[in-house]
Amino acid sequence: MSSPERLEKKVPVRSLSETAFKAVCDNLGASFKDEKASASFVCGGTIPMKSKKQIKVYWHNASSVPQARMPLELPITSSGENNPIDQLVADCEAAGFGRNKETIMDTQYRKAGKLEPSQFATTFHPGDYGILDEVSQILVRNLDAGETGLIPRRVEADLYKLNVYSGPSGLFQKHVDTPRSENQIGSLVVCLPSPFKGGNLVVRHNGSELDFPWENHSADCIQWAAFYSDCEHEIKTVSEGHRITLTYNLYAKLEVAQPHSSVLDVKSLPLYGLLKDALQTPGFMNTEELSSIGVVNQVPTGGVLGIFCAHVYPHASKGVDKLLPQYLKGADLCMYAALHSFGFKPDVLPAIVLYDKDDYGNGEVYACSYPYRRYGVEFEFNDDARVYIGTNLRPLGVMDNGGEEDYLELAKEFWQDEKKYDKPITWISTPGHPEPAMAHCSYGNEASANFIYSCATIIAEIPEWDERNIMRQLSE
Ligand SMILES: O=C(O)CCC(=O)C(=O)O
Ligand SMILES: [Fe+2]
C-alpha cells in the first residue's frame, strides 16, 4: 500500500471515531435534557376543608391605629352584610412589583392588594398540612450523602405576604420572583378557601408549563403550589370574587444531624447509567490514532466534560461558595451526584459566554452575554462563542448594569478562557434558557436587591481510560 493511499484511509477512520465520540456526548446531553424536562420545577396540591378547622386571619390597617378587628374566618359560612372579606380588601394596600431596583405600581401589570406579615397573623401554617414535606420531597431531592458528598436538605417557609386578587380585573403578569436571600430555593403560594373565578396560576420553566386552575375548588379547599425561584409565572385575570393567597419564601436548610427519611439512590438515575456506559467506552475522552500499520490505538489523554446547568443560581452573591454544590436543583443535582459517585471531583463554576463576532460575521469584537441578541437575531452557541470560566464562585458586583465593554473587561481581568483546565472542555449542554436569569435584574415581585443570576456550570476532569477503568463504581 503506498503511503498516499494510507493517508486517504486515515481520514475516514479518524472522523468515524470522532463521530462516535460525538454520539456518546450527544446521548449524554440528551439524557441531561430529559432529566431537565422531567425533573419537577413545580408541585402543588388541594386540601379539602371539610374536616378541617376554619382558618382565621387577624389584621390591622397600616394607615390607622392598630385595632382589634373581628378575624376573617375561611371558608366563610354565612353570607350577609359586613362581610369581613370586604373589610380585608379595603384595608389592603396596593401591591407593586419590582423593576430594576424600583417598586413600580402599574395595575396593567399587577392588580392586587397586599398586607405585610407585620400587619396580619393567621392560624394557618403550611407545616401543619404536610405541605412542606411534599415540597421537600419534590423540589429538594435528597441523594445518598455517601455517594454524592451532598448533605440532605429540608425545606423551610418564611411568610412573605398576604395578597388579594379581586374580580373583575385582579392579575399579575409574567414575572420571576425576586429572591430575598441566596439560599432561597423558591416560592410557595397558598390559596385560602374563598370563591373566585379565573385567576389561574401558570408556572413555566425551560419551555415546560403547568397551569393551576384553582377556581373550581376555590370555595372549599386550600390549594397550593411551590416552584423554584427561576420559574417564570403569572396569574391570569380574576373575573369574580376574591383570590386570597399567602405567599412564602422557601429555603433549603441542611439537615446535618438527622438523616432524611427518603433518600434517592444515585444509581437509579437514568443519567447515571448513561454516564457509566460512556466512561466504560475506551474512546470516550481518549484520542484514537491509527498506527503506521493501520491499527487503532488509544492515546491516553483524558478530557474535560462541561455542563451548563439547567437552573440559574446566585453565583454572584455573597457566600455563594457555601451554597453550591449543596443547593443544586433538579437535573443539575443528578449530574453532579452521578459524576461524584464515580469518584470525580466536579467543580461548580460560573461561566459567561461571549461572542467575538458581530452579527454580520465580521471579525470585530462584540462581547455580549449569551444569548447574543442584536436587532432580533439570536446567535447559536457555536464556534464563535467563547466560554469564560470563573476561577471560583464569588461576589461579582461589576456585572451589575454592566454594558458590553464591562463584560469583556471583566472576562479579561477575572475570568479565564477555559484555562483552569489544561484540556479543552467538551460541552454536552448549551447555556440554559437564560431569560429568567436576566429577568431577575429587571422584573420581579419587588424591586431587586443585588442578586445577579446567570449560567452556572458543572465541570469534571475525566481521567484517561486506564486510570478510570480502575476507579470505584466503574469496575463494579
Ligand atoms: O398568587 C399567586 O398565585 C402567585 C403570587 C405571586 O406570583 C407573587 O406574589 O409573586
Ligand atoms: Fe410571583
Q: Which sign does the torsion angle of CA 369, 34, 306, 263 carry?
A: positive
Ligand nearest to the CA of 245: 1
pLDDT at site 311: 82
> Could you give phi then psi for residue 44, rounded to 5 degrees?
-165, 175
Q: 227: closest CA among 260, 196, 250, 258?
A: 250
Separation of CA 410 and ligand 2 centre (Å): 32
445 residue type, one letter: N
Ligand nearest to the CA of 95: 1
pLDDT bin (cut points 50, 70, 90) of residue 69 is low
For residue 222, give the C-alpha cell.
386550600
Closest protein CA for atom 3 of ligand 1 = 201
The conformation of residue 214, written as its DSSP 8-state character, comes to T
Q: What is the ipTM of this complex?
A: 0.98
Could you count the other beta carbons within 10 Å of the beta carbon of residue 334?
Answer: 27
With cell 484520542, the residue in question is 287
User: Pairing state of beta strands 303-313 and 425-427?
Assistant: parallel
With cell 466534560, the residue in question is 305
Residue 196 pLDDT > 90: yes
| Residues with C-beta less than 6 Å from any ligand 1 atom | 163, 172, 177, 189, 201, 233, 235, 245, 247, 445
Residue 203 pLDDT > 70: yes
Give the number of residues written for the chain.
476
> Taking the CA atoms of the chain, what radius of gyration do you get in angstroms?
26
> Which atom of ligand 1 is nearest to 212's Cα?
3
For residue 215, give the C-alpha cell.
377556581
Separation of CA 235 and ligand 2 centre (Å): 9
pLDDT at site 393: 60
Provide mean pLDDT across the span 352-376. Answer: 52
Cβ atoms of 33 and 208 within 8 Å: the answer is no
* Domain segments of the chain as ranges: 3-38+265-469, 42-254
Provide mean pLDDT across the span 383-396. Answer: 66
Residue 3 pLDDT > 50: no
Separation of CA 235 and ligand 1 centre (Å): 7
Q: What is the mean pLDDT of the chain?
A: 76
pLDDT bin (cut points 50, 70, 90) of residue 211 is very high
Alpha-carbon gap, residue 154 to 152, rounded angstroms: 7
Q: Which residue has the higher pLDDT, 111 or 424?
A: 111
Summarize pLDDT for 233-248 with one digit per residue, the tens.
999 999 999 999 999 9
CA atoms within 13 A on the CB side of 161: 21
Query: In the CATH scheme, what is the code of domain 42-254?
Result: 2.60.120
With cell 445518598, the residue in question is 144
pLDDT at site 64: 57
Q: 188: closest CA among 235, 135, 234, 152?
A: 135
pLDDT at site 63: 60
Separation of CA 288 and ligand 2 centre (Å): 52
Alpha-carbon gap, residue 368 to 408, rounded angstroms: 8
Closest protein CA for atom 8 of ligand 1 = 445
pLDDT bin (cut points 50, 70, 90) of residue 315 is low
Q: Which residue has the higher pLDDT, 68 or 372?
A: 68
278 residue type, one letter: A
pLDDT at site 253: 83
> Could you give phi then psi for residue 212, rounded to 5 degrees?
-110, 100
For residue 134, give the C-alpha cell.
411534599
Separation of CA 401 and ligand 2 centre (Å): 23
Q: Which sign does the torsion angle of CA 306, 311, 316, 321 carry?
A: negative
Q: Which of 187, 192, 204 to mutate to test the pocket of ligand 1 (most atoms within 8 A of CB)?
A: 187
Separation of CA 473 and ligand 1 centre (Å): 45
Closest protein CA for atom 4 of ligand 1 = 189
| Helix residue spans in 293-397 (DSSP H) | 320-323, 330-341
Distances in Å between the Cα of 85 and the Cα atoms of 115, 198, 216 are 13, 18, 19
Alpha-carbon gap, residue 297 to 34, rounded angstroms: 34
Q: Which of 161, 177, 196, 229 to mutate to test the pocket of ligand 1 (most atoms within 8 A of CB)?
A: 177
Q: Which residue has the higher pLDDT, 434 or 3?
A: 434
Alpha-carbon gap, residue 334 to 346, rounded angstroms: 12
Q: Which sign does the torsion angle of CA 316, 318, 324, 327 carry?
A: negative
> Which H helix or E strand runs over 210?
strand 208-212
Alpha-carbon gap, residue 411 to 419, rounded angstroms: 12
Q: Which residue has the higher pLDDT, 67 or 423?
A: 423
Q: Which of 201, 218, 227, 244 to mutate to test the pocket of ligand 1 (most atoms within 8 A of CB)?
A: 201
Separation of CA 96 and ligand 1 centre (Å): 12
